Homo-oligomer: A and B are copies of this chain.
Amino acid sequence: MAGIRAQQKEKTRRQLIEAALGQLSADRSFSSLSLREVAKEAGLAPTSFYRHFSDMDELGLTLVDEAGLTLRQLMRQARVRIEKGGSVIKISVHTFMEFIESNENIFRLLLRERSGIAPEFRAAVNREIRYFTMELCDYIEKANKLDRDVAYLQANAAVTIVFSAGAEAIDLDKKEREELANRIIEQLRIIARGAQDMQSRRPAVTAE
């Protein structure tokens, strides 16, 4: 029972996903893709699309999930590198930029659909980004010994700036990307210092 049939189905499903992902270029948003186009690119008749997804929306949500996986890969890799020592901020930004470079289209999707039309899409993207933020928040809370709410403010601001930079970076050449990365690093430092400062001016919480 190899499931030769289910296997084949999974394969063409992947073809549809890859086809859609492949069409997402600089001047093509997901919502501008048509079911027929994607099916054609995948080498399928338009009607066969329905054997795998009931909708373009359903395909889209699948892509967002895919992007979520990529995001977690990114986090894992950053964590590994950080453990080996060096500036946390620098490493994080560079890892992020690398990922954008090698996963352009999936990041395009993520960054565009964040402010896109379909509410379900936005929700899905925001879920992924929130997860990302929370991980960072935990890390900051422990590593820098900040109160949770201050850590959250810092994490949220950092993620906003990094993702926003990601959206910019996608359309830049290598040199411009480096400049951008340096700017982001400095901004993250400013935020980190500000958070430390805000924490230190707080009344200490003491046991009664």
Which residues of A are in contact with B by a Cβ distance under 8 Å? 26-29, 31-32, 111-112, 114-119, 122, 153-154, 156-157, 160-161, 164, 167, 171, 183, 186-187, 189-195, 197-198
Closest B residue to A164 by beta carbon equals B160
Q: Determine how close the nearest CB of chain B comes to the CB of A202; give it in whole angstroms.
A: 12
If over half of A's interface residues share one DSSP class (helix, strand or loop), that class is named, otherwise mixed; here it is: helix
Quick one: closest B residue to A113, CB to CB? B115
6 contacts between A and B (CB under 8 A): A32-B117, A119-B171, A153-B186, A157-B157, A190-B197, A197-B197
Chain B residues, Cβ within 8 Å of A111: 115
CB contact between A197 and one of B116, B183, B194 (< 8 Å): that residue: B194
Copies per assembly = 2
Nearest Cβ in chain B — how far from A183, in angstroms? 7
* Chain B residues closer than 8 Å to A117, beta-carbon distance: 27-29, 32
CA distance A66 to B12 in the complex (A): 46
Bound together, the chains give a CA A192 to CA B195 distance in angstroms of 10
**Residues from chain B with Cβ under 8 Å of A183 in the complex:** 153, 156
In the complex, A116→B170 CA distance in Å? 12
Partner of A157, one of B115, B118, B161: B161
A157 contact set on B, CB distance < 8 A: 157, 161, 187, 190-191
- Inter-chain CA distance A154–B178, complex, in Å, is 19
Select which of B114, B116, B193 is within 8 A of A194 by beta carbon.
B193
Residues of B within 8 A of A119 (CB): 26-27, 171
User: Which residue of B is nearest A163, CB measured?
Assistant: B164
Write the nearest CB–CB distance from A132 to chain B, whole angstroms. Answer: 14
Output the nearest chain B residue to A152 by Cβ-Cβ distance.
B183
